[in-house]
Amino acid sequence: MTNVVTRREFLGSMAGFALLPLEQEKPELILHNANVCTVNAAEPRAQAVAIARGRFLAVGSNSDVLNLAVSGVQKIDLGGKTALPGFIDAHSHPSEAGRLHLRMVDCDLRSIPVIQAALQERARKTPAGEWVLGFKYDDTKTEENRALTISDLDAAVPDHPVHIQHRGGHTAYANSLAFRKAGIDEKTPDPPGGQISHDPATGKLSGRVAESANGYFDKVIPLNFTREDCREGVKLISKMLARSGITSATEAQGVPEDLRAYQDAHEAGELLYRAYCFINYHFLDQMLEAGVRTGLGDEWVRVGAIKLVCDGSISERTARLSVPYEGRPNDYGILVMTEEEMYSAGRKAHLAGWQIGTHANGDVGIDTTLRVYERLQRESPRRDPRFRLEHCTVVNDELIARMKALGAIPTPFSTYVYYHGEKMRYYGADRLNHMFALRSFIDAGIRPTQASDYPPGPFEPMMALQSEVTRTDSKGNVWGPKQRITIEEAIRVGTLHGAYASYEENIKGSIEAGKLADLVVLGRDPLRENPSNLITIPIERTMIGGRWSFEA
Ligand SMILES: [Zn+2]
């Protein structure tokens, strides 16, 4: 062993060079002649990496790393291209989205007739009486500038029940047959925490339901996915994420089927991202009985936090706010769980050693969630609980100070400013300077993450970087410029901070010897790009665990 120490000391003495403790390990692959942005503060730039058994063995200059080459090692010249750590999407719904892509009409379309045609097309292939389902519909993205109505849907598809989820996932639109099947008529009262919308002129059903009113449909829509379908869904979304440079994602509303789907897909060699799988609190008791808690698994599939939901959504304007929505003086949004419900589920999870991730968008939702977290820590202090505030959209200085004191982690929407710009006017210019508040979080010493919430938001990391750096939407409108961050900060948010949010900062999130060999090779250097063109930077290759998961 003396030999090992000596050699390590020798190599350790070379500036900007690091080596795994497993000294005898030989590199299998060397990537050289690259512009490596490591996101490692001790060595921010490098030219080459050596990889063995799925991990970085060495990171350094071309000559340092090429010196390690042994016979049989594969060398790839990256031609000066920029490499970054693989992106980590700290809040999305990939497994669920994969299943939906398998089964539903993608309604991310730009006019009502085009949506109607897509639904008709699906209805033609569906036996009469069976459901026609859609998702990714967005009422603000069609040229008519109005929401789908029950009559639009009846006109398009009269003989099948039709149900379309809004891109945000908190509201849905249905035709008459679907409402009949769900047992809802004009007189059905709003359920607690939910809303059945009516046409203000006629009092008839408008076709829209929100929040807990979706439960009526959930009961009657036969969305049965076989085990095979779930695996297929993960396979499909894996390819979509790999193409965009993502190597890790949090399944933010996971259920036991997702955990199984991830294991199945991984076993079949189809999983192309590392999954941190939250578990919906409805399954908490089952998980506790089985002795499962956060962290169980391996670097591919790991049990994440218990998921609680405090309030509504930003894109659908149901987040709970202290000051009403612009132009809607009595509309403060919706609270989904009571504080007491959150506390009692949270307490069980907290005592059992679970991380907790609570959906909290509006300032009232965040305040309520923090109160629950503060109480849990006060009553039963735990070291490093890393409480998460999922989305954590509308904040103020007081909330930020409390987050800092708790060590809480926000996962704000990364692509919303760019992609959902048209919805930002509902919040007003002043509030926008306190939304998706990356500048404030970073200045306070908090570690926010990159998070798409896909399907509600697009997951492409280059769009996230542009959105965060410019705070400008696709039409050139600027929203909340005080929250701009630098490109270097945005890259750190999208990589190392994401690893921290899942307790994995020691194994991923930066390009460092000993960490998992997850990286992305870009067509151009984002640090030298005009920030308004970041979205056009091509993803050339994505690597996970030392293997290419995508090559253009
Ligand atoms: Zn979500």
**Nearest-angstrom CA–CA distance, 433 and 439:** 10
Look up residue 36 and give its amino acid: V
Tens of pLDDT, residue by residue over 288-338, are 999 999 999 999 999 999 999 999 888 778 889 998 888 888 888 888 889
Band of residue 6 on the pLDDT scale cut at 50, 70, 90: very low
Whose CA is closest to 495, among 464, 474, 471? Answer: 464
Question: Is the predicted pLDDT of residue 18 greater than 80, yes or no?
Answer: no
Tens of pLDDT, residue by residue over 151-174, are 999 999 999 999 999 987 789 999
- For residue 252, how far is its CA from the centre of ligand 1 (angstroms)? 6
Residue 191, class by beta-carbon neighbours within 10 Å (0-12 exposed, 13-18 middle, 19+ buried)? Answer: middle
Place of tokens 């890259």: 491
**Nearest-angstrom CA–CA distance, 139 and 13:** 60
**What is the mean predicted confidence (pLDDT) over 490-504?**
98
Tens of pLDDT, residue by residue over 426-471, are 888 899 999 999 999 999 999 999 999 999 899 999 999 999 999 9
Which residues are CB-neighbours of 246 under 8 A, at least 6 positions away?
86, 87, 88, 89, 273, 459, 461, 542
Band of residue 9 on the pLDDT scale cut at 50, 70, 90: very low
**Nearest-angstrom CA–CA distance, 258 and 481:** 38
> Would you state the structure tokens that stand for residue 369, as one six-digit string?
């969630």
Question: Is the predicted pLDDT of residue 11 greater than 50, yes or no?
Answer: no
Q: Which residues pair with 195 in a beta bridge?
A: 210
- For residue 210, how far is its CA from the centre of ligand 1 (angstroms)? 16
- For residue 211, how far is its CA from the centre of ligand 1 (angstroms)? 14
- For residue 449, how far is its CA from the centre of ligand 1 (angstroms)? 14
**What is the mean predicted confidence (pLDDT) over 242-251?**
98
Percent of the chain with pLDDT over 90: 86
| Residue 360 CA, distance from chain mean position | 14
- For residue 11, how far is its CA from the centre of ligand 1 (angstroms)? 45
Band of residue 519 on the pLDDT scale cut at 50, 70, 90: very high
- For residue 285, how far is its CA from the centre of ligand 1 (angstroms)? 22
What is the 8-class DSSP label of residue 335? B
Residue 375, class by beta-carbon neighbours within 10 Å (0-12 exposed, 13-18 middle, 19+ buried)? Answer: middle
pTM of the prediction? 0.87
CB 164 within 8 A of CB 133: yes
Tens of pLDDT, residue by residue over 74-117, are 999 999 999 999 999 999 999 999 999 999 999 999 999 999 99
The helix (H) or strand (E) run that includes residue 461 is helix 461-470
- For residue 442, how far is its CA from the centre of ligand 1 (angstroms)? 22
> Would you state the structure tokens that stand for residue 335, as one six-digit string?
């609270």
**Nearest-angstrom CA–CA distance, 520 and 531:** 19
Mean pLDDT value across the chain: 93
Beta strands 132-137 and 162-166, pairing class: parallel
Band of residue 23 on the pLDDT scale cut at 50, 70, 90: low
**Quick one: pLDDT at residue 24?**
64
| CA dihedral sign, ordered 266, 355, 287, 296 | positive
**Quick one: pLDDT at residue 262?**
98
> Would you state the structure tokens that stand for residue 138, as one six-digit string?
């967005």
CB 388 within 8 A of CB 358: yes
**Nearest-angstrom CA–CA distance, 61 and 76:** 14
- For residue 89, how far is its CA from the centre of ligand 1 (angstroms)? 11
**Quick one: pLDDT at residue 549?**
98
Tens of pLDDT, residue by residue over 363-410, are 999 999 999 999 999 999 999 999 999 999 999 999 999 999 999 999
- For residue 159, how far is its CA from the centre of ligand 1 (angstroms)? 33
**Quick one: pLDDT at residue 74?**
97
What DSSP line would sit under 219-287, residue for residue? HH------HHHHHHHHHHHHHHHHHHTEEEEEETT--HHHHHHHHHHHHTT---SEEEEEEEGGGHHHH
**Nearest-angstrom CA–CA distance, 458 and 310:** 23
CB 133 within 8 A of CB 223: yes
Question: Is the predicted pLDDT of residue 488 greater than 90, yes or no?
Answer: yes
The helix (H) or strand (E) run that includes residue 539 is strand 539-544
**Quick one: pLDDT at residue 377?**
98
